[in-house]
Amino acid sequence: MTRLSVNVDHVATLRQVRGAAYPDPVEAATVAEAAGAHGITAHLRCDRRHIQDGDVAALKGVVRGKLNLEMSLAEEMVDVALATRPDQVTLVPERPEEITTEGGLDLLRHERDVMKTARNLTRAGISVSLFLDPDPDQVRVAARLLECVEGFEINTDSYSKCAPGAFGEDLAKIQECARLGAQTGLAVYAGHGLTSQNVRPISAIPEIEELNIGHALISRAVVVGLERAIGEMLASMLMPR
């Protein structure tokens, strides 16, 4: 089945808004894996609004599946990744004022910078994924970077904003990019804005190996607990169409 990587950023958000020591995203990661998550994702932002450097180091110590660190191309972040050695880094664009990641990397403009950072990380044994909008032109550039990029994560934000059942064009673009990416030898992942209501058409795309889901899962966990929220999401990912 499609793997689920649980993004624990917003466990840390809840901690940071009160400057408290709890809830602990590392404890949440352990519970998430015990509940069936296949891996854990955390985004270390330049403003440290949720995940902190110490969380990344602690996650590295406890995560048993794949630890995926989302980060910008900033040198400071590359240093953290090289010191911590997560299994995978997903490179994302980052704008200080944004509420959440607003779009994919623009490889048409930044191919050289991305290549330089990806090479640096790959040399240290870290797999590199790129967060990309569902645009075949972006995927074609990613395919040129196969020597230092293992895969890419399709941004499902625009898809997730469609009314249920009206995914038409957005879904078709994601399917096309997934097909194209897999044909060129890249691993294909997807995420952003996915919920148990909209996840199935995405988990049904055969080329997509893994989904990164955070906000909806952690929000649901506040009400019913993390274990049940993950169980529900895994069940939704497998629902008959």
Interaction site with ligand PXP (CB under 6 A)? 7, 9, 43, 70, 90, 92, 100-101, 131, 153, 191-194, 212-216
Please give the Cα distance from 34 to 227 (Å, whole number): 8
- The residue nearest ligand PXP at its CB is 214
Nearer to ligand PXP among residue 84 and residue 88 (C-beta) = 88
Q: Are 192 and 211 in contact (CB under 8 A)?
A: no
Taking the complex as a whole, the smallest distance from the CB of residue 172 to ligand PXP amounts, in Å, to 21
| 70 labelled catalytic | yes
Taking the complex as a whole, the smallest distance from the CB of residue 9 to ligand PXP amounts, in Å, to 6
| 192 labelled catalytic | yes
Please give the Cα distance from 162 to 165 (Å, whole number): 8
Q: Among the options 10, 38, 50, 192, which is catalytic? A: 192
Q: Which of 211, 202, 215 is nearest to 90 (CA)?
A: 211
Taking the complex as a whole, the smallest distance from the CB of residue 121 to ligand PXP amounts, in Å, to 16
Q: What sign for the dihedral angle of Cα 85, 188, 119, 9?
A: negative
Taking the complex as a whole, the smallest distance from the CB of residue 232 to ligand PXP amounts, in Å, to 14
CB burial readout 116-155, b (16+ within 10 A) else e: ebbebbbeeebbbbbbbbbbeebbebbbebeebbbbbbbb
Nearer to ligand PXP among residue 7 and residue 84 (C-beta) = 7
Q: Which of 172, 182, 85 is nearest to 135 (CA)?
A: 172
| 94 labelled catalytic | no
Q: Among the options 10, 38, 50, 70, which is catalytic? A: 70
Nearer to ligand PXP among residue 90 and residue 127 (C-beta) = 90
Query: What are the residue numbers of the active site?
Result: 43, 70, 192
